[in-house]
Amino acid sequence: MWALSSLGQGARDWTVATTTPFEGTYCAQSGSVRDDGSTTIELDVTYTLDGLIGFNQKTSSELDWDFLFFYIDNIEQGKLSGVTGWEQAIYSVTAGAHTFKWAYIKDAAEDGGTDEAWVDYIQFIELPPQANITAPTNVVTANNGTDVTITWDVVPSATSYIVYSSVDPYGTFAIDNSGTFNGAEWSNTLDAKKFFYVIATDAKSKIPQTIQVESPKVKVEKSKIK
């Protein structure tokens, strides 16, 4: 269950907002806070396996003075300030019980922006144990103006592959079922500029391909159509 708290004169708890959410209809919005005040939202979650927590965040605050902080088990993992757009954050989580906390905290003086923070699209992801299978390598993307083709080296013991795509390299990737597989090759009609990654699967697990794209704790490999 979510727990809410606030500290300082006139401070208010986080609320559910409908203004410009990252995804869907709603997002969490910090309550109003005066100087030296804070407002906090937290949740206890138990992971049965090692995994990740991912969420999107944005602030409208005094740059480098008033912050949205994120904590795991009361240990600071990251912070954001200034007038920003939605930014994705991803952090590693070990198996076991954890407390995830977001806190908007103001300093002793001055304001900036609308003095608010937002959090949306929180994902609690458990990663299955890796079997004896490696990630696809030498992933190459090519297009001839009408079609896109992705090729990679065959992964020993892989029984199948899955292609994910997105129009935004930092956005949400979804399984792309629109293409056609031919062994270690996938092709599709080129309908828009997209970004891809490929995973290999066997009967027990799936292993992501990992080309580096910056995010706070986890990096994901993607192949880009130019």
Q: Where are the domains of the chain?
A: 3-126, 140-224
Query: Top-level CATH class of 3-126?
Result: mainly beta
Q: Which burial class, exposed, middle or buried, applies to 75 when counting CB atoms under 10 A from its CB (0-12, 13-18, 19+)?
A: exposed
Q: Using a cut of 0.75, tell me whether the model's pTM lies above it.
A: no
**What pLDDT does residue 142 have?**
87
Place of tokens 């995830």: 100
b or e along 172-192 (b: 16 or more beta carbons within 10 Å of the residue's beta carbon)?
ebeebeebeeeebebbbeeee
pLDDT score at 5: 83
CB contact at 8 A, 170 and 161: no
Which amino acid is it at 19? T
DSSP state of 144: -
State the Cα–Cα distance between residues 211 and 70, nearest whole angstrom. 26
Look at the alpha carbons of 90, 216, 27, 95 in this order and tell me if their dihedral is positive or negative. positive
Which CATH number among 3.10.180.10, 3.40.50.300, 2.60.40.10, 3.10.310.30 corresponds to the domain 140-224?
2.60.40.10
**Amino acid (1-letter code) at residue 43:** L
Instruction: Walk along the chain (226 residues) and give the pLDDT tens digit of each residue.
Output: 788 887 777 678 999 999 889 999 999 999 888 788 889 999 999 999 899 999 999 999 999 999 999 999 999 999 999 999 999 999 999 999 999 999 999 987 787 889 999 999 999 998 877 656 778 888 888 888 889 999 999 988 888 899 988 888 777 888 888 899 999 999 998 877 788 889 888 765 544 443 332 222 333 344 444 3
| Greatest extent of the chain over all pairs of C-alpha atoms, in Å | 64
d(CA 46, CA 12): 28
Domains 3-126 and 140-224 alike in fold: no
The pLDDT of residue 17: 94
Q: Looking at residue 221, what is its pLDDT? A: 40
pLDDT of residue 131: 59
pLDDT at 224: 41
